[in-house]
Amino acid sequence: MNIRPSLTIILVVLLSSCTNIIRTDEDSNNVRLYFLKHVIDKSVITEFENDCTHIGEVIGSEGHWYTYLFISNTNLTQGALNDMKNKTHAMGADTVIVHDYISSFATSVTFLGQAYKCSRPHVINKSNN
């Protein structure tokens, strides 16, 4: 009896069971994400700096070399955004300006942004984003 195919199947089943994407914590659902294109309009940043307190940089990421085959691109992206929301909330912030999508690996999704604590939700004009 050849044991290799059985071990391969068991390994695939075990790894696929570890593919749960990051979910948002209940309190993190209120974190707002604003996506800016590669060219940042300084007036948007100025508005946030005037009305909000800058808390710090936040990075959200999802995916590992051993699970990417079992997670769709959509779920990898959603997991990275959920990770960003959870970290933002843990920092005491409620708003993120997402500056960039970082992808040097085909196995994960990572976003970079700046976290702010704002007294009110912001409305960004379409001409600014």
Nearest to 34 by CA among 92, 110, 116, 119: 116
Q: What is the pTM of this model?
A: 0.70
- The residue range of the domain holding 79 is 4-128
pLDDT confidence tier of residue 126, bands split at 50, 70 and 90:
very low
Please give the average per-residue pLDDT across 4-12, as a whole number: 63
- pLDDT mean over 33-48: 68
Q: How confident is the model at residue 105 (pLDDT cuts 50, 70, 90)?
A: low
Number of domains in the chain: 1
Domain at 47, CATH number: 3.30.110.70
Q: List Cα–Cα distances, 84 to 10, 11, 124, 126, in angstroms.
A: 33, 30, 20, 23
Residue 28 has pLDDT above 70, yes or no: yes
Residue range 19-48: average pLDDT? 71
In sequence order, the 6+-apart residues with CB closer than 8 A to the CB of 29 are 85
Q: pLDDT confidence of 124, banded at 50, 70, 90?
A: low
Q: In this model, does residue 56 exceed pLDDT 50?
A: yes
When pLDDT is averaged across residues 106-120 and rounded to a whole number, the result is: 85
